[in-house]
Amino acid sequence: MTLYPQSRTAVERAAAEPPVSTPGYDVEAARVAAREAAAGQPREDVERVLDLDAGGVPCRLYLPAGAAPGVVVHAHGGGFVFNDVAVHDASCRRLANRTGTAVLSVDYRLAPEHPFPAAVEDLDAVVAWLDEHGEGHGLTGPTYGHGDSAGANLVLVAALRHPDRFRALALVYPFLDPTAAGASHHEEVEGFDPRDVAWYWEQYTGGDARHHADPDLAPLLSDRLGTLPPTFVMTSEHDPLRDEGELLAARLAEAGVEVLGVRYLGQVHGFWRHPDAFPAAEPLLRQAAAFLRDH
């Protein structure tokens, strides 16, 4: 396996930063730094952007010019601990413009302050709000799901908890297995230390390993995978999460779900939000958007 040059640069930069698993790591300072970095990103114009309350959950709605019917529910990544709608603002603008559809970015509660199942319940509340009030905000037509990493976990769980509610899903390097059973967790992967993977799950579960058997946290264990709509699953070659995402795609295929599984060669975890640094980011976004549009 070969890291592409842009990935190699990102890994070198990440190596200069303390890992999240470092004792005493300052979570709040890292959150502030992520928001400050995101504020400096270039962002595309969208016809309308609106912050709203969706059943008690803060969300940001993006409406592109000439939007087609429907809405993409987006859940951000960040290991259930980091990021928010502000950090993902530029990405959601791009997603709305590429899909030509409204995007509803969900500002779900974060761990460790709000451990599992708080984020799951927030996605439930947003789905219920769309059912009751979506039409009043012009959100008619089908609902799609999009998420990266931990956000892909939450979107997948929402679709499992609400069968037939979503028309299609796009999952970007999904974070699925708290037991880290895949061989990719034990390879010489770059840019996402397996110790950090374990730390994120520790924050999300509140340190209670009994949650590892709950399909609302570990959706690979669900007996309802066959109820899912058409699903796009993307993995990165140099990512500890690679094998669990590809296992999901295989299980969906066996369950009779229409699934497209794609591995992006030379890439590391986290690249999709950074088209300025990773040439593969824009093609990935267009591929995920096309999959959603096709359904």
List C-alpha distances in Å: 158 to 11, 143, 210, 272. 32, 12, 21, 22
Instruction: Tell me, yes or no, if 148 is annotated catalytic.
Output: no
* Angstrom distance (rounded) from CA 9 to CA 13: 6
* Angstrom distance (rounded) from CA 106 to CA 196: 24
* Angstrom distance (rounded) from CA 32 to CA 54: 24
At 246, is the secondary structure helix, strand, or coil?
helix
Angle formed at CA 160 by CA 159 and CA 161, multiple of 5 degrees:
90
Write down the catalytic residue from 88, 239, 243, 295: 239
Write down the catalytic residue from 149, 184, 222, 236: 149
Instruction: Tell me, yes or no, if 236 is annotated catalytic.
Output: no
Q: What is the dihedral of CA 205, 211, 212, 213, to 10 degrees?
A: -170
* Angstrom distance (rounded) from CA 222 to CA 184: 22
Write down the catalytic residue from 74, 146, 238, 269: 269
Instruction: Tell me, yes or no, if 7 is annotated catalytic.
Output: no
* Catalytic (active-site) positions: 149, 239, 269
